[in-house]
Amino acid sequence: MRRKILRFDIDTYREITDALVRNKRRSLLTGFGIFWGLFMLLFLIGGGKGVKSLLMRNFEGFASNSIVIAANETTKPYKGFKEGRSWNLQYTDIERLKVLVPELEVVTPELPEWGLSATRDEYNVSCHAKGVRADYVKVETPSMKFGRFLNEVDVQQKRKVCVIGERIWQSLFPDGDDPCGQFIRVGSVYYQVIGVDVSTSNINIGGSSAESVTLPITVMRDLLNSGESVGMICAIGREGVNMSDLEGKIRQVIARQHYIDPKDEEAIMVLNMEVMFRIMDNLFRGVNFLIWMVGIGTLLAGAIGVSNIMLVVVRERTVEIGIRRAIGATPRDILSQIVLEGVALTIVAGSSGIVFSVLLLQLLEVIAQHKTIFQIDFGTAMAALLLLGLLGLLAGIAPARRAMNIKPVDAMRDE
């Protein structure tokens, strides 16, 4: 009898050990699935934020509720005028827009000029110039490395001062010194540098800011002898105003004065920055929705895997569970054991996925030379981990209920 009991104990021990080894392998496979699911979810979220940040840098400094108006040849006949007629925006159009479209907060002109060169001593670089007013900063906010931007006094007194872009500064001042107070020649005129704008935006009015020389519009007006004509008009809507709703009204105000068909969109070109920002937001809103759908689907697949592996665990540990019940373990003990094993498996695998995704996103930042942030915030990581823990808890309930219903007699008979 003693030998039989001893043999039973040894056989039972071997069975439990073998089951643990088999379960360990299955658990590793299931844990890897959970790890991969959470890693993909967080990596895609962080990567999506980084890509959005990189793309939004193209609009850096621009007011999201701004529009740019420019003149072009007419394409439709109107009130006796043939198509193909050339016309120019006027300073009076600015005042008219301010009065007739009160929803606009800022209306400011710009005079561009291309094909110029900037010179200092033996250094020379190609550039373009644009004349603006001081309120232009509300349309395209500069990022000043040195000095300041133009002010009202510069414009009113027609001071021969300028703000240069980053590329011009690097070309004319290769030592990287503060150029403020120094003189450069643009075309045939000398200007005193009062600031350096290092904006990185790739969407610019009148050309790239890195290659631009910004002058007071009064100086530019005399230089070009442009009279009452302006190259472009930039406008910003008041807070809460939808610029798309104002576009038709703006066209009508300008078209009425210049005898242009208000429906001739090619004659009155309007660049609505609000539409471009909305397109970008909608694009990434859809991308984020897709990311969460794919990630949650992967996590659900991992949770189903956890439930399956725990069912296998319960079946292979029938004898062990029966022995525990025989020596006094309550159904609650069995339930908590199985559920906690499922939760522990998901939490450990999920935490590993978080760490690995953060490390890989950090590597992407290094590759991108820290021009953007490829990372997830703490709240997102914790929310994903809590979701994973909840899925692990739910996945362990069915196996735990099966284990809880195992009777010692049935377990011995199974043996």
Q: Per residue in 101-155, pLDDT tens?
A: 999 999 999 999 988 999 998 899 999 999 999 999 888 888 889 999 999 999 9
- 370 confidence band (pLDDT: 50, 70, 90): low
Q: Among 7-16, 144-153, 163-172, where is mean pLDDT lowest?
A: 7-16
Q: What percentage of the chain reaches a pLDDT higher than 90?
A: 23
pLDDT at position 3, please? 43
* Domain locations in the chain as residue ranges: 21-58+278-414, 109-231
Q: Per residue in 275-325, pLDDT tens?
A: 777 777 787 788 778 877 877 777 777 677 766 766 666 666 666 666 666
78 DSSP 8-state letter: B
- Between 318 and 412, where is the model more confident? 318
Does residue 29 register a pLDDT over 50? yes
Closest by Cα among 181, 188, 93, 195 to 137: 195
Mean pLDDT of 200-212: 71
The string of DSSP letters for 122-170 reads TEEEEEEEEEE-GGGGGTB---EEEE----HHHHHTT--EEEEEHHHHH
How high is the mean pLDDT of the chain? 79
Q: Among 2-11, 45-54, 199-208, where is mean pLDDT lowest?
A: 2-11
Closest by Cα among 137, 267, 129 to 187: 129
Which H/E stretch holds residue 236?
Answer: strand 232-237
